[in-house]
Amino acid sequence: ETGVTQTPRHLVMGMTNKKSLKCEQHLGHNAMYWYKQSAKKPLELMFVYNFKEQTENNSVPSRFSPECPNSSHLFLHLHTLQPEDSALYLCASSRVAGRNNEQFFGPGTRLTVL
Amino acid sequence: KQEVTQIPAALSVPEGENLVLNCSFTDSAIYNLQWFRQDPGKGLTSLLLIQSSQREQTSGRLNASLDKSSGRSTLYIAASQPGDSATYLCAVNEETSGSRLTFGEGTQLTVNP
């Protein structure tokens, strides 16, 4: 266990549904990240939060809406997704954002959009 | 734009073999390089992190080397075991990219008993 938990582990949703992914870290870190891992493609960074403030948005469509209420929790709110959004969504945390801060990953949420 | 390539995409070996996984990157202005392991349907586990000023790092049966100028890294696994079966990912942290890690697509390793 890395100290980063994600729920749910699996999620199936229709294109008109609204759902949320949750990430929690127990490492005392101040930076949290969302990554997307699609089949046959490298991991892609989506969002970075540092001390609850969003510091990076990697041109992510607005149907993905992140929320970071405190340094330990990170959410990804999903609405009107497309089938091509089906992927493994990984959360990570690090002591602070910035280079040379090792990132620790959660187990991921496997999302299927029908 | 940084691109990270891992060769081979898949590798199957008998138990006990020593093996080498390769990672190359196009922009040598990196701050560090990290090797991860990913088990099917699971998250990433960090194996080794090499700073740009270092040449290699070792952890148990794993040894990672870095040649920054040529844009290459290798992960050497000694005396492979079936439990080593997983996908191995390398990622670079560029000097100008802050937190951003650029990942390769991974090498899927199967170690047969």
At B15-58, the pLDDT tens digits run 999 999 999 999 999 999 999 999 987 889 999 999 999 999 99
Nearest chain B alpha carbon to A46: B100
B91/B38 Cα distance (integer angstroms) = 13
pLDDT at A100 over 80: no
| pLDDT-derived band at A99, boundaries 50, 70, 90 | confident
Which residue among A40, A99, A107 sits closest to B43, beta carbon to beta carbon?
A: A107
Confidence at residue B97, expressed as pLDDT on a 0 to 100 scale: 72
Q: Is A69:A77 a contact under the CB 8 Å cutoff?
A: no
pLDDT at B89 over 80: yes
| pLDDT-derived band at A1, boundaries 50, 70, 90 | low
**Measured between beta carbons, which residues in chain B are less than 8 angstroms from residue A40?**
105
pLDDT at A72 over 90: yes
Confidence at residue A102, expressed as pLDDT on a 0 to 100 scale: 84
Residues near A3 by beta carbon (within 8 Å), at least 6 away in sequence: A25, A26, A27, A93, A104
CA distance A111 to chain B (A): 11
Interchain contact, A88 vs B91, CB within 8 Å: no
